[in-house]
Structure 1
């Protein structure tokens, strides 16, 4: 009788454990909810530790040493919206501003998309619909081929060898719009298009429709060039403002449940926008493509834009190594601001390759 009782109890215990195990295996995996910092101007921003992520703490200091060596002023890593790393170097701090340079092109692309979402413009329309004819010095028939989408995609066909000035005399014909990719400051005319279409100044529309919606610093500003810098429009902000924009971009234009930018437009912006440069969207650079072109060259280069970085990454890149890297597969945003890592460069250098080797060491 004792044996029967013992066998019964053991069987019951086994079935109980098996049932508990099955329930554990069947339990849904809980995904951490995306975090968004408040937009009320407070300094509150939740953090997540390297340890909590299960990342490699030993890889942190080599990364920071490299960043400092390479003239970095600020560096932020977000995962699921929370700050994992935030570091300042070489006399910089969280309150100080720095220029985005061409990384700010993505701000213009985003605001253009917002204006389209509001029905103020259509990127498939020709630029002269908004600015009138004569905004270039090309023949009218050629000028009327240039759409807003061509400016977003860098295939306007205008001469990219004449500097940053976008006055009509400096915007000259080289090829029909859509047939030639060339990195050109003419994209900045989109700011005029938005101003004309909205009936507001570019600054006012940008501030109310983007900056204030995601809590970027209210004292950030656009520098508009004069003299030899005529035609430049460069945004200055603190590093957390850039990180906020990166977080909006990670979430495809949605901020904490509020749609700032239409997701369809955002998906277009972060995918190949034309047939020539596979690694270029609407003023966004794209990793993981089969080939790419660099600024100031017509040379096609085979391979990934940044071979050491995740293939699904899209990024805003600016002169002197201003970086907004967005990696959806890792729910990660990486920001770097500062002076040129090595010699002056316009978008990419081996700095990106080495930097991503060191970032990858955190989580591999």
Structure 2
């Protein structure tokens, strides 16, 4: 009898214990292998997405001159489409979406002790890198370049020679979208005693399996790669700077980079654009616009936005990275466009 009672007790104990034990474990983030073209996939059906709306999304992408569109969920490819003769191996330009590469490598150089973003730029480049009065030039820190608050005149074009970098306001008092950020590449080169390309390739590109190269276009330094390389970088951001167990970029730095960095343009971090803020500024404008950057997108999304609608959208709450490369959807633009809002209506109709 005692034996029967003991067995019954064990049966009840393990039955109760099993009720508290999850039947499935959370899927770990997937990272595509380095040096391989393989990339695991999952289906939209497995995520419960509304697959009946995928055709409308693809039609819209095609009509809006898209060349590639990739959706990752937790690192795995859910959607990958190429349009208008583009292929998975075709390189395309990132335009200003590549600013986030510069931001990331600046952070890597800081974590390795080569620089401090709070130091003035002239500590690394010497004085006279602008034509501003010396006292005003010395106000400009690396962080001001990361946050587009250098105070230099943004109306003079992309040229970053000293004669074209002229004082208009004290650093930190004015937000303006300006190509002067590219001087951070010179700062990194000077601080590390390496070329920008060498340091970038060694510390970021090769470590996450990207391909591509920087191409100088006048005063612009533009990154070109295939779309999957852009997706790899977006995945690194989603993973808080960690690539399959290796911390590539300090997570605290990346957190600062993807949150409001100054009090003028709330929707701007360290060369990243931020959704879900109370207001934002557009490139080439000093006007403050109220509301979210992209009202139809998740509030926690941050993004890399490049001329003519090059996009990296990162949505932590939904474990999504979304890539769009191509020609301008409508008219030429510097970063944000009406395309973002409509595209997110189409995306949301699928993922929701």
The TM-score range, normalised by the shorter chain, is over 0.9
The 2-side partners of 1:20 and 1:363 are apart by 37
The 2-side partners of 1:254 and 1:323 are apart by 21
Tell me, which stretches of 5 or more residues in structure 1 are unaligned?
Answer: 1-12
Q: 1:324 aligns with which of 293, 312, 318?
A: 312
Q: State the match for 2:25 in structure 1.
A: 30
Deviations 1:147-196 (A, max 9, x none): 00000000000000000000000000000000000000000000000000
Q: State the match for 2:163 in structure 1.
A: 169
RMSD: 1.7
Residues 115-154 of structure 1: pairs in structure 2 closer than 5 A: 115-154=109-148
TM-score if structure 1 supplies the norm length? 0.92
Q: State the match for 1:222 in structure 2.
A: 214
Q: 1:186 aligns with which of 166, 171, 180?
A: 180
The 1-side partners of 2:198 and 2:190 are apart by 12
Task: For residue 231 of structure 1, report the CA deviation from its aligned partner.
Answer: 1.4
The 1-side partners of 2:321 and 2:210 are apart by 16
Q: State the match for 2:284 in structure 1.
A: 296
Residues 7-86 of structure 1: pairs in structure 2 closer than 5 A: 20=15, 23-24=18-19, 26-27=21-22, 30-40=25-35, 42-86=36-80
1:210 aligns with 2:198: no
Task: For residue 363 of structure 1, report the CA deviation from its aligned partner.
Answer: 2.1
Q: How many pairs does the alignment contain? A: 345
The 2-side partners of 1:335 and 1:32 are apart by 22
CA separation of 1:291/1:58 partners in 2, compared to 1, >3 Å: closer, same or farther? Answer: same
Deviations 1:272-308 (A, max 9, x none): 0001000000000000000000000000000000000
Task: For residue 25 of structure 1, report the CA deviation from its aligned partner.
Answer: 5.6
Task: For residue 222 of structure 1, report the CA deviation from its aligned partner.
Answer: 0.8
Residues 238-249 of structure 1: pairs in structure 2 closer than 5 A: 238-249=226-237
Q: State the match for 2:86 in structure 1.
A: 92
Tell me, which stretches of 5 or more residues in structure 2 are unaligned?
Answer: 1-7
Task: For residue 337 of structure 1, report the CA deviation from its aligned partner.
Answer: 0.2
Task: For residue 245 of structure 1, report the CA deviation from its aligned partner.
Answer: 0.2
The 1-side partners of 2:23 and 2:271 are apart by 39
Q: Look up the SS of the partner of 1:161 in the other structure.
A: helix
Task: For residue 53 of structure 1, report the CA deviation from its aligned partner.
Answer: 1.1
TM-score if structure 2 supplies the norm length? 0.95
Return the index of the structure with the highest Cα Rg. 1
Q: Look up the SS of the partner of 2:154 in the other structure.
A: coil
Task: For residue 362 of structure 1, report the CA deviation from its aligned partner.
Answer: 1.3
Task: For residue 27 of structure 1, report the CA deviation from its aligned partner.
Answer: 2.7
The 1-side partners of 2:40 and 2:21 are apart by 31
Task: For residue 17 of structure 1, report the CA deviation from its aligned partner.
Answer: 10
